[in-house]
Amino acid sequence: MSTAWRIGVDARRCIGTSICAGTAPEHFHLVGGLSEPLADVVEPADVVLDAADSCPVEAITVRDATDDRLIAPEE
Ligand code: SF4
């Protein structure tokens, strides 16, 4: 079981819908119209996966901070 996840937002993909910030406001906010994670490394939490899965352009990735394994979005 992962003890930490690394959140990434691809600014080239993000179209600023704010869905992630609405789903997980404790993890995402919009800066200049694009999403940024509030913290790059977080404790594992379902709401982070929900935000990644809800992004319509799959701009959010969640990886295991230890081994870089992709956790979300599901391939
Ligand atoms: S849900 Fe995706 S496209 Fe919308 S603001 Fe978040 S990262 Fe950007």
The full DSSP string for 6-45 is: EEEE-TTT-----HHHHH-TTTEEEETTEEEES-SEE---
The SS3 of residue 53 is helix
Are 18 and 55 in contact, with CB atoms under 8 Å apart? no
What pLDDT, in 10s, does the model give residues 21-45? 999 999 999 999 999 999 999 999 9
pLDDT at 31: 98
Tell me if 9 CB under 6 Å of ligand 1. Answer: yes
The two structure tokens encoding residue 43: 């404790």
Distance, CA 66 to ligand 1 centroid (Å)? Answer: 25
Give yes or no for residue 1 having a pLDDT over 80: no
Distance, CA 16 to ligand 1 centroid (Å)? Answer: 5
Distance, CA 14 to ligand 1 centroid (Å)? Answer: 5
The ranges assigned to domains in the chain are 5-65
Tell me if 19 CB under 6 Å of ligand 1. Answer: yes
**CATH of 5-65 given 2.40.50.140, 3.30.70.20, 3.30.1340.10, 3.40.50.920:** 3.30.70.20
Q: In what order do the strands lie in the sheet with 41-42?
A: 41-42, 5-9, 60-64, 70-72
